[in-house]
Amino acid sequence: MKTHRNHANYWAFVLHRISGLALLLFLPAHFYVLALAVEQAATLDMFLSWTEAPLVKLLETGLVILLAAHMTGGLRILAIEFLAWRNWQKSVVAITGGLSLAAGLLFFLNAG
């Protein structure tokens, strides 16, 4: 494996791209459900009852984790663009990853 791929920033980059792709796939479905809320209340009710399934809750938790990871990854990119690099920033990458995971787990606990 190449040495640059063992760096925390590389993995933060990969996670940011993966989370962006997941959001790209999720958003059209989300907008469709919002349209159902306006136009077809009965269909929306059926969809909402489907979202109570444990697997859907688990997938929603993953989505919240990816959303938080994408947000913190975007903040990391802004920091790289506008701030001077310091060695402590490697720790910030790890902290933001932990915060993303914590946000998803808090969502999961509230969803259950």
Q: Which domains, and CATH codes, for the chain? A: 8-111 (1.20.1300.10)
Which residue's entry shows tokens 């909402």?
Answer: 48
Asked whether the beta carbons of 23 and 69 are under 8 A apart, the reply is no
Residue 102's pLDDT is: 86
pTM: 0.67
Residue 6's pLDDT is: 75
Nearest CA to 15 out of 67, 78, 92 is that of 67
Chain centre distance of CA 43: 27
DSSP helix/strand/coil, 72: helix
pLDDT tens sequence for the chain (112 residues): 566 677 777 888 888 899 899 889 988 888 888 888 888 888 888 888 888 898 988 888 888 888 888 888 888 788 777 877 777 777 777 787 788 888 888 888 887 6
Residue 36's pLDDT is: 80
